Structure formats: structure tokens, C-alpha cells
Chains A and B, each alone.
Chain A
């Protein structure tokens, strides 16, 4: 069956003065309609670059070095800018951490929504306004008709993010990519935005990629998780199995480092060191300098992401290879 989205061995590089930096290294995954996937990892892991690559927002000095991005059967990695623009904001919408990445401060939100609609559809101003009001209502903005005439600065941060989601919904996209959508918001507002994302996906028509560093947030919303470290996927599977029984030493480290995972007041399990600078990625498994289970082979050879039936997920780690027979 054809997937909604299929990334095949995507490599994204940045051509810098001192050489090429590989920000995304051989990333593959699939997403179907109604799937909600969390893309997690620490800052610099390559989460945003992965998201940007899907909607063709990698710009110089960055480039997609290899791989395919099949979306509804079309390879987005090899599409020209005009065709991509047609897909962005139409079939695929993106929500950023900062709502002002999407909103234009000098236009009313009504104008912005109407313009987006009319860029993709041949409809009158009245029809566009009616659709805009409908979407604002979906994200629970009170008295949306009046709100159309207001400017972004007249809304609070939480409302702005809801308006961004309303804009993302205008064209009934098949895929929404939300990059840290609640990171800048207070917890009570975050809880509302997460409810909203869940509500929108409940129809089963839309796929969601939720990019975040916050595992607790991911566990509220998603049904599968992809964990990235230094540009590579280290573990990928259902949210429940990964959160309750992480297998990759990095995922284990991340979960055990959370304050909630230990007796209150006791020392936290810390992962020693920090994620490498992508220009100086260690040879072999890039996690080996921080890994408590590091073996000789880990320093020499890079493990491959393989499916382990008994763990119902994909893992990239020699520990697994030694214990079980994985398949690619």
C-alpha cells in the first residue's frame, strides 16, 4: 500500500567553509494518514532539518544530498520550487515554535487567511472569509468574525499559535509538521494546544509529525516515536513500547534523566558529556563516547537501524545485534 509519506535514506548536508556538515544522515521512515509521529532528540539532533527537508525549505548552503521523499506518490526531494510552493500550505502545513514565523505583523489575520486560500483556490472574498471563520472556530477562537479584522499583536502568544494552526488547517492538509509548537508556551496553554492537535488528527485524514525535545509532550499526543541523535535515527517504534521500555542506550538515558523517573530528591541519572558537534562526529556509533555499554566494535563500525521483532521496533545498536538477529 502507498504511504502518505515515505522518507528513503535522506541525507541533508550544509556546505560550510571548513567542509560539509551532515545534519541528517540516512533517515528513513513512513507515515500514514491518521498517524501521529513524534520526532524527538536534543537540540542539534537534526529534527528541524528533517522537517524542513520534507517541505523543501532547505536553502543554501544546505542541500538534500541523496534520498527520496515520497509524498502521495510524488518525490518532493526532486521537485522544483514552484511545484513545492503549491504543496506547502496546501497539502502539507508547517507550524513553528514562533507563531510570527507564519504571521505577517502588518496584515490582519483575515487578510492573511484569505490570501492563503486564494493562492490555492479560485474563490471569492466572502467564501474565503467564511472558511477562515470556520477554521478559527475549529481552534476555539471566540467570536471569530470580529477577530478577522485584528492584527497579530492584538492576540496573546497562545492565541497566535492557535491562529497559526487555523491557517495550517485552511486547505485541509494531508500532513501537518509541527516543530516545537508549544515550547514557548505556558503549561496550561500547552495543554490546550496539544488537545487541539489531537482533536484535528482524530478524523484520521491528516498525518502529524510532532517535532519536540519534550518526551512527556510526545507521549501525550503521538502513537509512534522516532528518536534522533547526531543526525541519525537510533530508535523508532510505537510510543508506548519506547516510553515504557526504551532499548537504545541513548533513549534509555534520555528517559532516565527526567526528574519524574527517580525518587524525588535523589540524584538524577545523567548521561555524561554532550551531543557531539556535527563537524566532529565520533567514528563508529556516534553515541559511543557517552554510552555506558560501549564495546570495542562501537568505536570502529557504525551500527545499522534494524527491525527487532521481539522488541517490535527498529534500533541502531550493537548490543541488540549481539543479543538478537535483526533484519533491515
Chain B
């Protein structure tokens, strides 16, 4: 790890994936015993895919489902355009992820594991394929399959992945009850993020006490963070949860005195650059409206326009809506349009600001998946964190950042609606 402790899930990273033999030399061989249930619960591992839900609770829910043909789905879709952690992990230690998936499969009694990597990441697809071949020759464990859905922001949402496995379509599905159990065919399915799997693989080997040596009591362990924006070079770091933000930025070679940080991802929240002393873990970040989310930090330096950065992200996110639900299909473009008006159009900015806030309240919680909620959270946080600067826009002061073309949050090019590939 970059700060003081040695790396965990990134142990032995060497610029190419570890082979199965190298993997076993680095981490030791492992068998899955019944003790893992208790260890997993004691470890307090929280999912690293974004929601931050206790992995042991999800496993427990699936353990008590009937059926012999349960499925574990490893989510390595990495829908966040500014996230690189699952890719980095799979190009260093693919077998650790597969080990963890095997552990989870054992725990819930699944015989199949589907590893989902977006087909855009062809190098990662190759790494995983090679790793699976190596394991096949050993001939033990559950049946692994590699699946390559198209890359879309919402394709990594768990019901969308399951929909893909069922019907080759990466659109999220409506789930009336939560928590509920997703099904591939008639088999109960458990969706786990790739990084989460890697941590399970380590907990299986070294136990809960070891896992808790790093991190805070409610956010134990280490985590991967993708840092981009105003940095020396975009990086993925493994840090202990609870590390002060300032040290993470220093280790990443980031601007030490930024305007703000985008935390969690496009569906995350802005954090003002005044709060760099906060500990990087959900319990502390959430008190400031921010989140660990998918392990993303985008550094935005002073002089940039937070409103303009938010607008570009929201515009792209609106385009990535699967357009199945009215409030998302119509609401998100409306938010993007309001932001654009605030930035560029001088007519009635006060009214637009009021309308933007109302629309946020109206859209919140009304999609089949949480995609619109993420966008609303981002916009809400922008209105809070950049309130002073937004006032200047509303009152018609010129914004210096709009005269430059330098932007800090990487946003992919907008595709035309008819070019979006869902299957």
C-alpha cells in the first residue's frame, strides 16, 4: 500500500497478471471451509461496487435460498468512466478475484460463477480467459464462465447484469421488494463486485482479525481508489479505509489545494476542497454529503467551474439512461438542460435554479434502478458545494473557466441515442 502498510489485493502486482503458480506463491494455497461464514461476518467487509452493503448479509440471504443451481456473478463491468480499479485488479491478480468468487460460490452452494467483463476491455477479457484456462486444467471448483456484455453505465447495475445473463440485454429491471433475490433462469443469483471478491479471497486465507488490522471499526480493510483529474498521472491506489484524504491526494501526486473532489463516481457527490482532513470512509464522508462509492476521486483544481463539470457529467449520464422509466428518461435530460441554461443562458436564472431543485426532488427514487438517484445526488451536492460560484452565474458575473477548454472530469463522447448498444 502506498502509505504505510503493505498492499493486500494488489500484492505482487508486476505489470502483468500473476499466473496461478505465482499467485499461489504470493498468497499461499487456500481451501474453503465452513469457518468462512463466521470469518466473513466478523470481518465486516462492505461491498466495493458502490452501494457499500455488508457482503456477509448478502451471502446470508442467498445461503437460505432453495435451489441447487445458484449462480455467483462477478461484477467487473466498471461502468464508471473515471474508475479503473476493477480493471487494474484483474490485470494484476485475476486469480485472487476468482478465488474469492469460488469462496462465495462455496458459501451459498452455487455451482456456477459468471465473470462479467465489458467487451470494451479486451485486454482484461484476455487476462480473465487465460486465468480461467489455467484453473480448468486443475479441474476443481465451480464451473466458471466468462461473459462480455457491452459497456454502458447502467450495465453494471446488478439487475441489468442478471437481465443480460438471462436475455442478452443490459437494461435494469424493476424489483418491487428490496432486498430481493435476483434470478438467472430459475436459479438465485448473487452479484458481487470484483474487488469485493478479492477481499473475500484474502479473508478466507488470513481471517477476519487480520482483515481488521487496517481500516476503521465500521469500514474495515483496505480499498482501491482511482484518482484522476488534476493529478500528476491518473493512478489506482490501495489505501486503508479511514486514511485522511490529504494523504491519499499526496500519494497520488494530486493538486494539494483543489477546489473540490468528485467522490464515489458520476453517481456520487462533490466534496469541497476545504475538507481534505476528513477520513476516507463512508461514515465520515457521508456526514459531509460525500461517499466512497465505487472508489473514485476526481481532483478539480481552483479556477475550474464546478457547474460546468457537473453539467458535462449530467448530460452524459442522461444519455446513458436506459429510457425505460419516465422520470429517468425525461427527468435527467431536463436536469442537464437546466444546468446548461444556468451556465450559458442569461434568461431568468433564478427561476431555473428553483426549477432545478424542484426537479431533483421530483425525480428522486422514481426509477426502476438507482441511476437517476445517483444523478440527483450529484446535482444536489453541486448546488451545495458550489453555491457561491452558482450565485455568481445566476447574478450574471462572467465565469473565467468558461473561456478555456480545459476540463477536469473525463467524460466520454456523447453517443447518439440510436448508436447506444444494449445487447
- Bound pair (A, B): no
